[in-house]
Chains A and B, each alone.
Chain A
Amino acid sequence: MSQLNIRKAFEKKMIAFSPAISLSFENVSFTPASNVPYAALTLSPADVRNPTLGDNYHREVGLFQVLLCFPIGQGTNAVATKAEEIKLYFKRGTTLTESDTVVIVDKTPSIGRAYVENNRLCIPVRVSYFTNEF
């Protein structure tokens, strides 16, 4: 159940983000309001790690991405500022708990290059995480 919990933990954290931003969740129909910024959330798990020889212990690792999409033609200041806020919101060492899963942000989130998609300027903020599963 760890993947479910990891996703839930990140999504709940984003729902609690203040000031609130419109959120697009994976595989949920979403129509962005015109001229309103939104954030698309994606969980990208990587290969599971088995640091020891035992049967059960393993480590889930991956990236949680907050893709900030702002109306085009309004410069980069607003979207870049929001990206910095998200980066700080998930600062290294941030710990999220969902059920029996503890998700730890192990690196300072990185902000990717801006690009244009569907008439929006989008900037990805990538959050690296791991959980220990016993």
Chain B
Amino acid sequence: MTIYEGKAGIAALRAKIKRQEETLVREIARGLVENLVENGQDYIGDTTYAGIEFPDNDPGRFVNSWYTGDDVPSLGFSRSGDRSGIDSISQAQFLDVDLGKTISVVNSTPEAIFIESLGWKVEDLPLRGIVGWKDKPAKHPVADVAKNLDSIITDAIEEARKAK
């Protein structure tokens, strides 16, 4: 057990708590983005999402375009496609935490809204039906990850406890 005594002790304790808080925020962001990336990998390369509606898309752009930042959500999506989502994870893992600010995790690719909530319907694009294209439902990666929030936070608390 560590004993904190006097002014210096209190300062050291404060610093430790700050480090733990920062670690907690960073680990939640990392866990969240890692889950979002891995959840999105199931339908990468599905031509419905990557090649037909948005022919210029790199397969993997969706999973590699999770932007983590504070206060102001990033609306950019300039990263190249990478199915492993490495850039999304890297940014979240090394988030420069400013305690007191809101953390945002945003995906602004045009396909995100279709993947999360709209899906693609033949009736919207009748010609697709003629060539045998089928309805594709939305996959709800964000909603699915939201169901895992408890475990993401629990894991983050474990990591934060280790911060010295």
The reply to whether chain A is a binding partner of chain B is yes
Residues of A at the B interface (CB closer than 8 Å) are 42, 44-47, 49, 61-63, 65, 67, 112-113, 115, 117, 122, 124, 126, 128
Q: In whole angstroms, what is the CA distance A65 to B86 when docked?
A: 7
7 sample A-B contacts, Cβ–Cβ < 8 Å, listed by A number: A44-B90, A49-B96, A62-B94, A115-B44, A117-B45, A122-B83, A126-B86
Q: In whole angstroms, what is the CA distance A44 to B91 when docked?
A: 9
For A47, give the chain B residue with the smallest CB separation: B96
Number of residues from B at the complex interface, CB < 8 A: 17
Q: In whole angstroms, what is the CA distance A46 to B94 when docked?
A: 6
- Check A42–B84 contact: CB distance below 8 A: yes
Q: In whole angstroms, what is the CA distance A61 to B84 when docked?
A: 19
Q: In whole angstroms, what is the CA distance A49 to B82 when docked?
A: 25
- Most B-side CB within 10 Å, residue of A45, A46, A126: A46
Dominant secondary structure at the A interface = strand
From 34 to 50 in chain B, residues with beta carbon under 8 angstroms from any chain A beta carbon are 34, 38, 41-42, 44-45
